[in-house]
Amino acid sequence: MHVGATLRLLRVEAGLSLRDLAKRIGVSSAYLSRVEHGLDAVPTPARISAIARELDIPPTLLMDVAHRVSPFLASYLEQEPAASQLFLEIARRQLNSQQLTRLRQLIHTEFPSREFSRDEPPATLAPLLSPERLVLQLSCARLDDALDVAAGRLASAVPGTGAGTLAARLLRSEEEVSSAVGNGVAVPRVALAGGPAVAALVTLARPLPAETPDGQPVRLVVALMSPERGRPALMRLAHVARLASQGLADRLAEVQHPHEVLQHLQAMEPLA
């Protein structure tokens, strides 16, 4: 996974220049540029938290993308050593995704989370999808072709909006900054004033040899459409990058039916 590509995509989507964000988190723009292009090490948890605060998204989202341990978690483990033993028991039992989902459901029921202090649900992808916006095993030669297909499915959710218009806007966003976040996933996005927050998901029969931050060809396209740019759109974008870091493209590589996509997402996504 290439966390720098996700940081750059989020920064551009937030309307921040490289210099602006670097100044806000107290680093040089040269350093931040190296991070975004994968030429420097993954930032420390403290620095990732600082970036998340400037983007106004939960630090845990970026921590997960970067596979970093949150300072909050580290502090909790110091305060409650017994929690480390629980994590060890989970590892010893090699719980799979379905079993972890059951465990999360139990925790969610018995000990409701207070994480979302703004009375907002966690970012999730599944509610943005519908069977008609899932295209599985698409055969195409270029990423542009996949964007055209995704645009057509997004347009179906907005009567009166042409697929060609959405495709052109997705392409312009792609030219501004690559939507490839690594692990075979691209996350093109478009803001449509007054439109719904929806997504289209396209799996590819053959990987596309597009330029990607980690050298892995694109195998999965998740096109996001938002009513406007802002915090909710950034959270959705960061969440899809988190799913990519957790192997979403691998999980959906052989999927043949839309309901299987939703089953995989149910196992991977946080509980609403």
Give the pLDDT confidence of 3-36 residue by residue, as tens digits. 899 999 999 999 999 999 999 999 999 999 999 9
Reported confidence tier of residue 63, pLDDT bands at 50, 70, 90? confident
Q: pTM above the 0.95 mark?
A: no
Mean per-residue pLDDT of the chain? 87
Give me the pLDDT at residue 74, please: 65
Give me the pLDDT at residue 114, please: 54
Reported confidence tier of residue 116, pLDDT bands at 50, 70, 90? very low
Burial degree of 227 (CB within 10 A; 0-12, 13-18, 19+) = middle
Nearest Cα to Cα of residue 221 among 197, 196, 243, 249:
249
Reported confidence tier of residue 272, pLDDT bands at 50, 70, 90? very low
Q: Looking at residues 140-164, what average pLDDT do you find?
A: 92
What domains, with CATH codes, occur in the chain? 126-268 (3.40.930.10)
| Partners of residue 221 on adjacent β-strands | 186, 202
Handedness of CA 269, 69, 14, 2 (dihedral sign): negative
CA distances from 32 to 26, 36, 46, 175 (A): 10, 6, 15, 21
Residue 132 DSSP class: G
Q: Alpha-carbon distance 97 to 181, whole Å?
A: 23
Reported confidence tier of residue 71, pLDDT bands at 50, 70, 90? low
Give the pLDDT confidence of 194-248 residue by residue, as tens digits. 889 999 999 999 999 888 888 899 999 999 999 988 899 999 999 999 999 989 9
